[in-house]
Amino acid sequence: MANKKKNGKAAGNSSAKFTFWVIGLVVVCLAAFIFFGNHNKDKETNQASDIDYSNQPYLGDKDAPVSIIEFGDYKCPICKDFAANTIPIIEKEFVDTGKAKLYFMNYSFINTDSIRSAKFAESVFKELGNETFWKFHELLYKKQPEDTKYEKVDVFTEDFLIDTLKEVASDKDVDKVVKNFESKDSEDDWNKDMDYVKKLGVTGTPTMFVNGEMFKGQTLDDLKKMVDEAAQENKNE
C-alpha cells in the first residue's frame, strides 16, 4: 500500500472546533436516525476487536503506533462537514505528528448513491493506490449536494463518479477503475467494511475508533487522551 502523509490546514482553536462538531453531531444524528429510519442496529460493542487494517486506505506513517478509523458515508452531510472541518484537525494533531495513522472505512446506509460511490472508491484505491484514493475521496465529499433533499435522490451516478475521477486521474487510469468497478473486483473490500460495521456496533456516521475501541468522548482533549493511552498500551505489550 502506498503511504501518504498530508499537512493539515490551519485549524484555529482546535478544541473549540472539535467540541462544536461533537455537539452538532449528536443533534443532527438524532434527526438523521429518525429521518432515514435505517438504524435498528445491534448493541454497541465496547470491547476492542481485532481489525485487519491491510488493504485499507490511510493517512500517515505506516509505523505510527495508533490506528484511528473513521466510518463514513459519502452521502452523509455530517460526514461532509467532518471531512472539511474535523479531519484537518485530526491530521494536524495526530497524523502529521506521527502519533497515529487515520483509516477510512465505509458504512453505506443512506441510499443507492452511498453504496455505488463507496464501491467505486474501493475500485479507485485498488487500481490507483492510496494517494489517488484520497484525492478522489476529498473531492467526492466537496461535490456532495448542499440541499438535503438530494439525500434520497441518486446523484452519484456512475457517470458522475467517472467525471469526478477524471479531475484527479488520467483517462487511462480512469478506464482501469471503471473496468474494476463494473466487474465488481473490489466488492469484497466494501463487504469487509460493512462486516466491521456490524462487528463493531457502528450505528451512525461519522464514527471513530482508536485501536479498535469506539471513541465516545466529547472534545479533542478526550481524543488526545485516548490516543496517548493506546500508544502506551502498545509500548507495554
Domain ranges (residues) in the chain: 15-35+60-236
Mean pLDDT of 142-154: 77
How confident is the model at residue 17, as a pLDDT?
52
228 contact partners, CB below 8 Å, separation of at least 6? 99
CATH T-level assignment (fold) for domain 15-35+60-236: Glutaredoxin (3.40.30)
**CA gyration radius for the chain?**
17
Per-residue model confidence (pLDDT) at position 237? 65
Best CA proximity match to 119, nearest among 47, 190, 52, 199? 190
Name the DSSP letter for residue 91: I
Which pLDDT tens digit goes with each residue over 29-87? 433 433 333 333 344 444 445 899 999 999 999 999 999 999 999 999 999 999 999 99
CA–CA gap between residue 210 and residue 228 (Å, rounded): 10
Helices (H) and strands (E) in the chain, counts: 9, 5
122: nearest Cα among 110, 140, 97: 140
Q: pLDDT at position 73, please?
A: 97
What pLDDT shows up at residue 219? 87
Quick check: 24 pLDDT over 90?
A: no
List phi, psi (to 5°) of 167.
-75, -20
Task: Give the pLDDT score at 234.
Answer: 77
**Helices assigned H by DSSP within the chain:** 14-36, 77-85, 87-90, 112-128, 130-142, 158-166, 171-182, 187-200, 220-236
pLDDT beyond 70 at 28: no
CA-CA-CA-CA torsion for 183, 184, 185, 190, nearest 10 degrees?
170
Q: Centre a 10 Å sphere on the Cβ of residue 187 and count the other Cβ atoms it contains.
A: 14
> Sign of the CA dihedral 18, 21, 23, 29?
negative
- Look up residue 192 and give its DSSP letter: H
Backbone torsions φ then ψ of 49, nearest 5 degrees: -120, 150
What is the number of alpha carbons within 13 Å of residue 157 lying toward its C-beta? 6
Cα 127 from Cα 122, distance rounded (Å): 9
Q: Which residues fall within 8 angstroms of residue 161, CB to CB, at 6 or more apart?
A: 116, 117, 120, 140
Q: Is 20's pLDDT higher than 60?
A: no
Residue listed under C-alpha cell 480512469: 174
Q: Which residues contact 225 (CB under 8 A, 6 or more apart)?
A: 217
Q: How confident is the model at residue 153 (pLDDT cuts 50, 70, 90)?
A: confident
Q: Name which residue leads in pLDDT, 175 or 11.
A: 175
pLDDT digits (tens, 9 = 90+) for 80-128: 999 999 999 999 999 999 999 999 999 999 999 999 999 999 999 999 9
pLDDT digits (tens, 9 = 90+) for 165-201: 999 999 999 999 999 999 999 999 999 999 999 999 9
Cβ atoms within 10 Å of 43's Cβ, excluding its own: 7
